[in-house]
Amino acid sequence: MPTFDDRSGGFPRGLELLHDPGLNKGTAFTAAEREALGLQGLLPPRISTQQQQVDHVIYNVRRKPNPLEKYLYLIGLQDRNEQLFYKALVDHLEELSPLVYTPTVGLACQEYSHLYRRPRGITLTRYDRGRIKEALLNWPHRKVRVIVVTDGERILGLGDLGSNGMGIPVGKLSLYTACAGIDPAACLPVMIDVGTNNNELWSDPQYIGLPEPRLEGEEYDTLIDEFMEAAGDVFPRVMIQLEDFGNRNAFRLLDRYRDRYCMFDDDIQGTAGVTLAGLYSALRIIKGKITEQRIVFLGAGEAALGIGNLVASAMIRQGLAEEEALGRCWFVDSKGLIVAGREDLNLHKRRFAHDFPFHRTLAEVVEAVRPTTLIGASGQPAAFGPEILEAMARLNERPIIFALSNPTSRAECTAEDAYRHTQGRAVFAGGSPFPKVEMNGQTFVPGQANNVYIFPGVGLGVMASEATRVTDEMFAAAAKCLDEQVSKDDLEQGRIFPSLARIRDVSAAIALAVAKVAFAGKLTAMKEPSNLPGYIKSLMYDPVYSSYVPVKKHG
């Protein structure tokens, strides 16, 4: 009989089996399994196939009155029957991923304390200092290969949600499993609750986190340092993904740990990967070259600067001098255009500060810089108003407009606005999903620059190659590979990302590209398997029930 993980004490039976979400199959236990595993009388008599159960799940999801109810139903299923949850998610990813992740996860995080039912993952606080390793050892699985960790300071575009941000690591890891087949037992969500500066949470009696100000300075760093070290000790070969840390810590932590641990920051590097891929594909539609683009970013935070750095290095790889590549990327932050004359710039922004007159508003910047591409990552809803979009259409035959801010309510513009104010000439992508737009008898299919196209594949590639570091070169390779997954047919419909229905193949291809970078760059002590694509596929968890009892041979 399969044991599936490293539990000791044998295979569970009876109610214990039904209450084990990793093994439970609910009404799909066969007569032979019911007989052999002490399940007689514990289940309704009619036996379902897994497909019938998936249909039942979808029927129930569709009956729920709103996205939050649908989210709760799905999380409940994940707690009861993991294989069915993942089978439904894999088979209906386009319908269900906006429910288990963005945009619905944003609503779920805002309500997390009120909706709280049971723990998932590990939560650490300053009171665990000196004992973080012990806390991690309480996790029942030893073969953890991916940790997603947040301190809840910048949840999507929603700001500081403290401990309520735990919905994010939970959701992201579901996508690692659904999209790249990382075994759920190899995934660990972690919340480091360092307090919150969101006073509304303090006064909420139901808030599940620490109602105290955020740790800062050395105390904060010591806590995160201890976590990083303990995670590597307890789970050798684990990859750690930083998620939704505030701007002031995200870059610092990435700089501090990237050469010491196998880690990356998805908001900086994952976003950069998916956006660069979208840009490559958009340029195939408009027949442009990346080295000829002038890009204006609204926002100069984790997402925008991460994209700027990766795009600049792509331009350099294609022949531009560093200065020229940086000179093609322009940033506007909350104070205005980033130029050399400003004295309030940190090191990351200074890299893109050009000798140029200062302009306060985006409208002025668009007229002065004359961008070919406009990328929003500012969390400022409707910042790309009609005036800006019309200017982009006046300056370019085919403007590229990416409104990346999440959730949907924070997007710089909607897909419909982008097409309407450019007479359908824009190539558009959003951070959240937007519906198709019908205009003048034409159908436009907006792209979604969803990090889910990148991070699961990167994780699988790192895992397969046993890479000890996650590098920018891996994200560049992932972006190139993702662009290659977009077919001519996709491009003809205006799609700049592949259909989510193909995500497992896309992730496997990205994993191969990433693993090749690891082997070529000697980022691993592992010997390259002779059939690397086959090896990668063999690692992918498939949420299809297997038999728990030997199948009787007839005849």
Active centre residues (catalytic): 101, 172
431 sits near ligand NAD (criterion: CB under 6 A)? yes
125 counts as binding ligand NAD under rule CB under 6 A:
no
CB of 88 to ligand NAD, least distance (A): 24
Q: How far is CA 253 from CA 31, 256, 313, 400, 452, in A?
A: 53, 5, 21, 32, 22
Residue 26 φ/ψ region, left for φ over 0, alpha for ψ in the -120 to 50 degree band, beta for the rest: left
Nearer to ligand NAD, 105 or 404 (CB): 404
For every residue of 464-503, DSSP letters joined together read HHT-S---HHHHHHHHHHHHHTS-HHHHHTT--S--GGGH
* Site map (CB under 6 A) of ligand NAD, residues 265-284, x = contact: --x---x--x----------
CB of 485 vs ligand NAD, minimal distance in Å: 17
Is 90 one of the binding residues for ligand NAD (CB under 6 A)? no
* The pair of three-digit structure tokens given for residue 113, joined into one six-digit string: 């304390």
- Binding ligand NAD (rule: CB under 6 A), the pick from 87, 172, 410, 421 is 410
Give the residue with the Cβ less far from ligand NAD, 17 or 449. 449
Give the x/- contact pattern for ligand NAD in 364-403, rule: CB under 6 A.
-------------xxxx-----------------------
Task: Provide the residue type at 242 as one letter.
Answer: L
Check if the beta carbon of residue 210 is closer than 8 Å to that of residue 165.
no
**Shortest gap between Cβ of 58 and ligand NAD (angstroms)?**
26
Kindly list the strands in the beta sheet with 400-403, ordered across the sheet, starting from the edge strand earlier in the chain: 336-337, 329-333, 295-298, 373-376, 400-403, 427-430, 447-448
**449 is a site residue for ligand NAD (CB under 6 A):** yes
CA distance 224 to 26: 40
The smaller minimum CB distance to ligand NAD, of residues 195 and 379, is found at 379
Nearer to ligand NAD, 128 or 244 (CB): 244
Residue 288, amino acid? G
Q: What CA–CA distance (Å, rounded) separates 62 from 231?
A: 39
The answer to whether residue 406 forms part of the interface with ligand NAD (CB under 6 A) is yes
Closest CA to 296 of 211, 364, 224, 387: 364
> Binding ligand NAD by CB under 6 A: which of 18, 74, 253, 303?
303
- Give the contacts of 158 (CB within 8 A, at least 6 positions apart): 106, 109, 110, 407, 410
Residue 267 CB, nearest approach to ligand NAD (Å): 4
Question: According to CB under 6 A, which one of 23, 54, 124, 156 is a site residue for ligand NAD?
Answer: 156
Q: Indicate the residue among 49 and 361 with the shorter CB distance to ligand NAD.
A: 361
- Determine the Cα–Cα distance for residues 372 and 45; give it in Å rounded to an integer: 63
- To the nearest whole angstrom, how small is the minimum distance from the Cβ of residue 544 to ligand NAD? 30
> Phi and psi of 533, rounded to 5°?
-60, -40
Question: Which is closer to ligand NAD, CB of 12 or CB of 431?
Answer: 431
Q: Contact between 412 and ligand NAD (CB under 6 A)?
A: no
Binding test (CB under 6 A) with ligand NAD, winner from 405, 408, 471, 507? 405
Q: Select from 59-67, 173-181, 293-301, 456-464 the region that touches ligand NAD (CB under 6 A).
A: 293-301
Query: In this structure, what DSSP letter does residue 267 have?
Result: I
> How many residues belong to the site for ligand NAD (CB under 6 A)?
29
Q: How far is the CB of 370 from ligand NAD (least distance, A)?
A: 19
| Alpha-carbon dihedral 30, 35, 41, 47, rounded to 10 degrees | 10
CA distance 539 to 465: 11
Q: What is the 3-state secondary structure (H, E, C) of 155-198?
A: CCCCCCCHHHHHHHHHHHHHHHHHHHCCCHHHEEEEEEECCCCC
Q: Which residue is nearest to ligand NAD (CB)?
A: 301
> Which of 124, 304, 515, 523 contacts ligand NAD by CB under 6 A?
304
Q: How far is the CB of 493 from ligand NAD (least distance, A)?
A: 21
**Binder among 98, 157, 171, 498 for ligand NAD (CB under 6 A):** 157
Binding mask of the shown chain, residues 313 to 342, with x at each position contacting ligand NAD by CB under 6 A: -------------------xxx--------
**Which residues on adjacent β-strands are paired with residue 25?**
none
Q: List interacting residues with ligand NAD (CB under 6 A).
A: 154, 156-157, 247, 267, 271, 274, 298-304, 332-334, 377-380, 404-406, 410, 431, 449-451
